[in-house]
Amino acid sequence: MLRRGRNVTERVRIVEVGPRDGLQNEKTEVNSEFKVALIGKLVAAGLTTVEATAFVSPKWVPQMADAAEVYAQIAKRPGLNFPVLVPNEAGYQRARAVGVEEIAVFGAASEAFSRKNINASIAESLDRFRAVVERARADGVRVRGYVSTVLGCPYQGEVPLSDVVRVAQALHRMGCYEISLGDTIGVGTPRAARAMVDAVLQDIPASALAVHFHDTRGQALANIYACLDRGIRVVDSSVSGLGGCPYAAGASGNVATEDVVYMLHGIGFSTGIDLGALIEVSRWISAKLGREPASKLARAGLFVPKPA
């Protein structure tokens, strides 16, 4: 069971990935202006880390072709972070040309997924990332690292925990300040999630870890709860449960930010996020995309008890 000190409200940091993980797989065309508006609304709701876009090949992910335009138009302020995905040196150069201050490199624990997603073996990808991380650190740019398919792979099936640990270790050692452990296709259950985090914790402290759950099989909140129990205090999520991965068939959206925040506040963590405002953002983006929000909370609304 999750046990915490009674007097201190512990904080959980949410990394909002909707504008990137959410929109990278979107069939409806979403223009740059709209993406920038979405990021602004998320910040207004209290999100301080919003993964803004991806400087990947536009041939691979056309939805992110406007990365430079989007990043350039975001209203930046001290205290706000707008990390972007960067797969290689070409992406790093494009990102730096518009003044990006934080990047995320993204590897996988599954060899098959690595090849499908970034056209490289795990070993090749780590060599690429090492060169990018070295340059970034020399430029004073912070680097986050992702490990995908930590609980299963759509191409390979089972992913040995030793491979998750090996890739997480490599990213951490090369200088990523935080490693986000991704259940890319949402196959995990709390027991598997806990075992995976426990294995990584043998080598990397909880303070340098984040979890990234897709809610494909409805397990994401339970998995997050299990990981909070292990000391994880950074959670990736996507407003309205937007998203998926273009190179992982069957991947649904990330767990919805508003559902995560509702749970966190309910069990006594603070997030700095205004849940009412976030629900409005969720409904706004869903209306724009012409669908119902995928989150339970945006459908049901906040529960406001009637006075006795």
The site for ligand HMG (CB under 6 A) is made up of 21, 24, 54-61, 85, 87-88, 90-91, 94, 106, 117-119, 146, 148, 182, 184, 212, 214, 245-247
The least CB distance from residue 73 to ligand HMG, in Å, is 19
The least CB distance from residue 176 to Mg ion, in Å, is 16
Name the burial class of residue 266, with classes exposed (0-12), middle (13-18) and buried (19+) by CB atoms within 10 angstroms of its CB: exposed
223 binds, among Mg ion, ligand HMG, none (CB under 5 to 8 A by kind): none
Site for Mg ion, residues 230 to 249, rule: CB under 5 A: none
301, 62 Cβ separation under 8 angstroms: no
Nearer to ligand HMG, 148 or 219 (CB): 148
**Rounded distance, CA 144 to CA 141, Å?**
10
Beta pairing, strands 178-183 & 142-148: parallel
The least CB distance from residue 238 to Mg ion, in Å, is 8
Two tokens, residue 184: 């890319």
Catalytic (active site) residue 245: yes
Beta bridge partners of 13: 234
The least CB distance from residue 246 to Mg ion, in Å, is 11
Dihedral-angle region of residue 69 (phi above 0 means left; psi in -120 to 50 means alpha; beta otherwise): alpha
Site for Mg ion, residues 15 to 44, rule: CB under 5 A: 21
Q: In the bound complex, which residue of the shown chain has the CB atom lying closest to Mg ion? A: 21
Find, among 93, 120, 96, the residue nearest to 106 by Cα. 120
Q: Which residues does the annotation mark as catalytic?
A: 245
Contact positions vs Mg ion (CB under 5 A): 21
